[in-house]
Chain A
C-alpha cells in the first residue's frame, strides 16, 4: 500500500519540531548558521538538513501573511532521480519511499541535476562524499511507525497515512472550508503524483513550489531509452552494413569488368 504524508500549511505554527525530530532520528549533525534576516534556519536543505521549514511572507492583498512550509523530498511516484541514476542507487520501496543505496553511488550528481524539486544534496566537505536526502524514515515505516516529523508535529499539520486516504482527507478539508484553502492539493497530480501532499491558503508558486504538469518527467526519457536506443543501434548497424556491402560489391564488379576488358584485349 502506498503511504503518504499530508502537510496542511494552514495548521503549521513554524515551531520546527519536525526539523529537530528529523535530525535526531537520522543522527544528523547541527549546522553552523548565520542570521540572514529570517527565522528560516538553516537557509536551505543540505546533506545534513533533510527537512526545513521555510518562512515566506506573502501579500495576497488582505495584508501580509507569514506562511510556514515544511520542505523535504517529495517521494515522487515516478522519481526522476531513480530513473536517472546509472547504477541504480535510488529505488522506490513498495510503500513509496525513494531511498538511496550508498554502496552503489559513483557521485555523478545526475540525480541532483534532474530532480525537479532540487532535493538530493551532496556532502561537499567530504573527500569521498555521499548524496543525502529525506528517506521517508523508511526504517520506522518498516517497523509500523510513522515518520519522525509527523510524530513530532504538535498541531497535526503533518499527517501520515495511506496516500489515497490522505487525498480524500485533503479534498474533504477543501470542501468543508473553501475559504481557508486554495483549491489545489499539491502533489496529487504533479509529475504523475508525489507521496507528499500539501494544502495551502496561498497559491503554491508564491511559496517557491515549482509549477509542474501532470506528466511524469521520466516518461519521455524512459520511452526513448527503451525503444530509441535499440532502434538507433539496429538502424545504424543495418545502414552501415548495407552501404559497406553495396560499395564493396560495386568495387568487385568494377574489378571484374576491368578484368573482363583486359581478357578481351588479350584475346583479340
Chain B
C-alpha cells in the first residue's frame, strides 16, 4: 500500500469513528429529548444546531451557483468542477436536514409541514422548510447521474438528462427563495436581534451572502478535491469565479455600509463592546480581506490565493450566521448558553460524515474527471 493510500485509509477510519460517536449522541438525544441532552433552555431556545443549519445552507449554495453557471450561462468548461461541487452541496443539504430533524423538539411530527391545511403562508419558517424539502429532492436528481452512470442504468439517466435544464432552473429559483427567506426569518425580531444586524434588508443580505459564499465553497471544494486526488485543474476557470466573488463582495460591503449610514447606526460599530468586535470581525474577515485578495491578480490566479480567499469568505459566513442566530439575539439578563457535548458531538459528526461520504463518492463514483494518466494507461 502506498503512503497516500495509507493516509487516505487513516482519514476514513478517523472520520468513521467521529461519525459513530455523533451517531450514538444522536440516539441519546432522540431517546431523552432536548432538555437532558442539550444546554438549550427557555432563555436560549435556539443554539448550536440552528447555527449549523443557517451556516451550511448558504455553504451548500455552491451547488446552485455552479449549476447556474454551467446550465444557464452555458459555460461547458465548468462541467469538470460542477459534479464535485454539486455532490458537496447535496451532502451539505442532507446533513442540514439531519441536524434540523435533531433540533425539532417534536421531530416525530415533522411531516406536519407537508399537510396543506396546516400551512401558514405568512411564516418564513414554513417557506424555509418547504424549500429545503423540495430543493433536496432536486439535488437528488442532480446527483443521480453520477450514481446511474456507475450502475449503467440508461433509461432513468436519459430521462434526467432530458430534463436537466428544467431541474437546474427549478433548483436555482428554490435556492434564491430559501436563501433569502432564511434571512427573512429574523424580520420578526426587530426587538430581539441587535440593530447592527437587524435591517429590513436581511433577506437581500442573506441571498447575497449565499451567492458569494456558494461560489467560494465551489472554489474551495474544486481546488482541494482536485489537489487531493492529483487531478489537473485549469485555475483560469476558478479565477473567473473569484473575480465574480470580488464584485459581489464589493456590492455587499457597499450596501451594508449604506444601510448602516441610512439607519444612522454607524456609531454602533464602536459602542457595543464585544458585539461591535464580532460585527467588525465578520465584515473584515469575510468581506474586506477576500475582496482585496481577489482583486489582485496573484490572489485570483494561484491556488493558495484561491484557497485562502475562499476560506476567509466561509469563516466570515460562519461568524455572520453565529452572530445572527445566536450571539446578537438578546436573551434575558443573566442567562447563558454554551453547547452541551452532545450538541457539539452531533455537529462535528455531521460535518465528518459529509466529508466521509464526499471522499467515498469521489473515490467510487464518476464525480471527478478521469486523470489523464489513467486514461493513457487504459488505452495502451
Contacts and interface: CB of A to CB of B under 8 A. Distances in A.
Interface in B70-111: 71-74, 103-110
Given A86-B125, A237-B169, A109 B45 contact: yes
Interface stretch (A21-29, A59-67, A120-128, A174-182): A120-128
23 contacts: A80-B188, A83-B120, A85-B120, A87-B115, A87-B120, A105-B112, A106-B105, A106-B110, A107-B109, A110-B185, A116-B191, A122-B105, A124-B40, A127-B30, A127-B32, A129-B35, A130-B106, A217-B190, A220-B190, A221-B122, A225-B123, A229-B181, A233-B173
A247 B106 contact: no
Nearest to A118: B332
B36 interface: yes
| Size range of the chain A interface in the assembly | 35 or more
Interface string A197-229: 000000000000010100001101110111011
A237 B113 contact: no
A137 interface: no
Interface in A73-126: 80, 82-88, 104-110, 112-114, 116, 118, 121-122, 124-126
Interface string A27-54: 0000000000000000011100000000
Interface residues of B, number: 60
B73 A83 contact: no
Contacts of B72: 240, 243-244, 247
A129 B106 contact: yes
B177 A44 contact: no
B59 interface: no
A169 interface: no
A248 interface: yes
Nearest to B112: A87
Interface of B, helix, strand, loop or mixed by DSSP: helix
Contact of B123 (A46, A83, A236): A83
Interface string B118-131: 11111111110100
Contacts of A251: 74
Contacts of B329: 113
Contacts of B180: 228, 232
B181 to A, nearest CB: 7
Chain A to chain B: the 9 pairs with minimum beta-carbon distance, closest first: A107-B105, A124-B35, A107-B106, A86-B126, A127-B33, A112-B45, A86-B125, A109-B45, A221-B187
B109 A105 contact: yes
A210 B191 contact: yes
B188 A129 contact: no
A237 B172 CA distance: 8
Nearest to B202: A224
A161 interface: no
B165 interface: yes
Nearest to A222: B122
B169 to A, nearest CB: 5
